[in-house]
């Protein structure tokens, strides 16, 4: 038992983002499973922690912290001396820009549609909504191409070191790279292709996503 608890199911990309920063910062924590397909996230007790019923939520120092953005910021500052955010103002701003693109433009088509339709629904015995899949290709491609223009690092997104932006994008790539539309949405993103080849086999990535 530790005094840090992460609520959420480890299949969630946002939970994995939190796990990546916690592990990279070598923080011991417990994970309490809160499922999203069985309604755990909408129970009264969980809604008291997170009024929007999303995962993850972190309990630490007697406080409850939700939103991956807040969790990754806190963990990075508290336990890693800020090393997972670039010092340079422009690179740090680019990091937040990539995170914002992921949250606002990539997650919905790439995770809520391509991942759920191709990888989750068949495992639940449900039919794939092909129209939804077709409709998610262009917005996924647009978001990835926008991120591509911001990649200045090697082998990581912004430098030679992992940042919180990598921790957001890795769990999404872990799923979307397994979908039949991956090649199609990645036609114009050679830097992201190289990035994914470099980071996918890192021990940290295998530990959390593998």
Residues near ligand GSH, by CB under 6 A: 12-14, 36, 41, 53-55, 67-69
Q: Which two tokens stand for residue 156?
A: 């990581």
Question: CA–CA separation, 32 vs 129, rounded Å?
Answer: 32
Question: 67 burial class (0-12, 13-18, 19+ CB within 10 angstroms)?
Answer: middle
Q: Does an H or E element contain 6, and which?
A: strand 5-7
* CB of 105 or CB of 152, closer to ligand GSH: 105
* CB of 167 or CB of 195, closer to ligand GSH: 167
CB of 126 to ligand GSH, least distance (A): 17
Task: Determine the straight-line distance between the first and last CA of the chain, rounded to whole angstroms.
Answer: 24
Question: CA–CA separation, 193 vs 186, rounded Å?
Answer: 7
* CB of 13 or CB of 19, closer to ligand GSH: 13
Q: Cα-atom radius of gyration of the chain, to the nearest Å?
A: 17
CB of 47 to ligand GSH, least distance (A): 11
Q: How many helices (H) and strands (E) does the chain have?
A: 9, 4
CB of 112 to ligand GSH, least distance (A): 8
* CB of 43 or CB of 188, closer to ligand GSH: 43
CB of 190 to ligand GSH, least distance (A): 28
CB of 160 to ligand GSH, least distance (A): 27
Q: Contact 16/40 with Cβ under 8 angstroms?
A: no
* CB of 41 or CB of 76, closer to ligand GSH: 41
Q: Which two tokens stand for residue 160?
A: 């030679």
């Amino acid at each position: 038992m530790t005094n840090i608890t992460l609520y959420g199911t480890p299949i969630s990309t946002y939970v994995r983002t939190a796990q990546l920063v916690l592990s990279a910062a070598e923080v011991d924590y417990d994970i309490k499973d809160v499922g999203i397909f069985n309604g755990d996230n909408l129970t009264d007790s969980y809604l008291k922690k997170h009024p929007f019923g999303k995962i993850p939520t972190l309990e630490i120092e007697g406080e409850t912290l939700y939103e991956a953005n807040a969790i990754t910021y806190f963990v990075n500052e508290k336990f890693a001396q800020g090393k997972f955010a670039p010092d340079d103002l422009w690179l740090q701003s680019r990091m937040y820009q990539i995170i914002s693109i992921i949250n606002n433009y990539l997650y919905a088509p790439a995770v809520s549609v391509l991942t759920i339709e191709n990888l989750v629904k068949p495992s639940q015995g449900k039919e794939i909504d092909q129209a939804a899949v077709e409709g998610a290709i262009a917005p996924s491609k647009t978001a990835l191409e926008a991120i591509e223009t911001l990649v200045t690092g090697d082998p990581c997104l912004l430098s030679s070191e992992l940042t919180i932006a990598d921790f957001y994008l890795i769990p999404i790539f872990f799923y979307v790279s397994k979908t039949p539309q991956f090649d199609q949405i990645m036609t114009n993103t050679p830097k992201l292709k190289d990035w994914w080849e470099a980071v996918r086999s890192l021990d940290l990535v295998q530990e959390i996503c593998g």
